[in-house]
Structure 1
Amino acid sequence: MDFETNQDEFEAHSRKNADRDILGFWTSLLSRTFTKNFKNGSLLRIENGNYQLLNDTIYLKGKLISTIGNLNIDGFVVGDELQSTLKYDNGNIAGNISGNRIIPDLPLSNYKNLFHDIKVLTQKHIYNKDVLKTKEWEVFTEKMNSSASNFQDDLDMIFAFYYHSRNLPFSHFSLTKTLKPTKKSNPTKPKKGYLTLKQKNSDTAYLKILSFNGTSTEVDSIFKIINEREYGHLIVDLRNNSGGNVEAGITFATNVIDKVSYGGVFLTQKWFNNHSGLPQIEDYNKFAFFSEANNDLILEGIHKTKGLCLKVIPKEKTYKGQLYILVNKNTASTCEPIVYELKKQERALIIGETTAGAMLSSETFDLDSDYKITIPTADYYASDGYKIDQNGVKPNIKTSSEDALLKAFEKIANIEE
């Protein structure tokens, strides 16, 4: 970013006219006209910046403006090194920006070659090569190929990738750049737990699951408490839960599903290379079964087999009370087959919005220049053949995300009356 200072104030911006290299002339013109995101064509900028010099340190604050939202920036410069924290208006930390005062040689990388490598890896690992024959993939590759030679820095590359890939007919396709570790203000601070249990009254509990990135032990420990207290009603909040690992997901399912269940099947490129269609439901039991809470085992099965069938084996003691699951448009990935199966078995009442429709199994591969590409390597179909990816799971009771918890309490009150 280029910084422009005036007494104790400053503004900063990333490369001007970058939007035209990515969006094209007419789209960038419309974007500049009808939004405030692309002033002078920069993808990022800092406004209302102010700074002060104390000893040998410059302290600065401002507002970071981007296409995905605005954040407050609070940081300092020592020597030629910038360290700063990005925060939401409520004070929660969103991330950080760090860097050094340099004039780089541009472009930073050969982005056309980088995109070529992305295409090669995708062709090799994608769950079904037929999705690379679609009009959406053709448009995506055409746009990236035509603009990649104009990219000057990593921001151009990543923004273009996400902008042009947004209409692809599959999820779990992402490009990231490995950043150098930044200094931590408190490296010993304990991690925040992924699960929070609150008792609403003696018969009702509320369980918030931020993500399924925790462990099976954490999930089992929470349900041990739930079962000991014998709650008649359990509200499980999966709103804004973007998924996580299969270990925590399967463990959750084994604590709330009270019968052996086939959760669906992952189909790999080995299947689609040898079959023109999907397997019949009655053929699911011919696939290898996966029932253990272990991420490495599921990846091993995806690498070696045509398909892998999820099998949920209940705990010896499962939760028996009334179950309510809160969902919204950001409830994704690992959450979705669980929500679908609970709804199909009528084991839980699903309340909220249709889920994200982002349910595939993916893996991440290394590229040059510290880039990584995540590619979906297995497609997923539910136990009745329903494809969750791009479709999502519809709730039993449709309501806004904000009102979902209130609807659950209303339902519980009506039952108790």
Structure 2
Amino acid sequence: MRLAPEFALGIDGNAIPAALRASIVSISYTDGIEGADRVEVSIANPSLQWLDHPLLQVNNAFRLSIGYAPGPLEEVFVGEITGVEPSFPASGIPMIRLTAQDLLQRLQIGTKDRSFRIKIPSVGNFPLPDSAVAALVSGTNGLIPELDPVGGTLSTLIGLATFLAFPQFAQMSVRKQSGVNDFQFLTEVAKDNGWQMYIDHTAEPRGRVLKFQFLIQDYAPSLTLKWGASLMDFTPRLSTVGEIEGVAARVWVDSIKMDFVIALNWDYDRAMFKLSITPGGELGELLAPGKVTTIKPASYATAPRKILSELLPKLNNRLTGSGSTAGDPRIKASRVVNLEGLGAQFGGLYRITSATHTIDGGGYKTSFQARKEVWFGSIPAPRGAGGLVRLQGQFSV
């Protein structure tokens, strides 16, 4: 039986002193599948005893565990202090707001210009697979990359198949980092491959495992929440804005004087993707009026990346929602939850995209954002023929 909400903080390798713990007014921890996870701690500082305290300094290591007494607490965050903000109000108690972020924030420091390739004699530059690029950039920032086996293999196969079929496109598909920081660069790599990128605080060594997860799998829910019982509230949002069912690209290969149509479609009836690559053909008959977006891939070699990065977000953001429940550390970004009591269309499986855990004078509460991914199977198909996003361009070799 759950009794009282409980938390434990560790700073600079040690548990915080009892006096500091007693001064904490509230704790808020947010994790998501985009950007660095974040903890904010509000500390009462009536006699300024915590002002300039050596524990409350930027760059100090920071750990957070949450749960309920008397049960064991779960460590949910490992990072470092990135901000200390004291306040001295005209009336009321002086406060200190402490901010900590996970190690993803280190990737946002500075910009770089480089490319990722292997030079092969008599052949030229061979592009490094995106899985290798992600591993190299992660490692140079002191992070341990963990690539999803399915997503990593698919990325490598796409790159290898493109090179073997059209070796003249190898140079065009070399990854280049130009004037952006490592976080921006890795975010682009992840998006192009259908990966979600986040620190996995449950893996060892804690706080240093950077996960690249291919989300077209992993459907098992980590918990079930029922409205009227464990689910306090839930607000779904079903939108047809920008709705598509597929992506098509027309590319011209000048060296063989032939154009190709590459199409990736989602089959709602069979709940599966359909990929086709055909010479010539017309896109116009595939496009629904008012649902056409034009994007130009840099080359035939980059077209598969652009198709994937355009299609997946549109499919997965059609049905989203936000909700809250009594505090539960199992509600984590990237995990799947099963929502009951919401009907056939709005209930079922959702993937958590962001979760905020708050402990204060009112107790422990968890709020979350979620999306019903199209392969979860219970989103009704759009009426009529869905439109395609068209990618078009002419390229020389």
Whether the TM-score (by the shorter chain) exceeds 0.5 is no
Higher relative contact order (CA 8 A, sep 6+): 2
More strand by share: 2
Q: TM-score when scaled to structure 1?
A: 0.25
More helix by share: 1
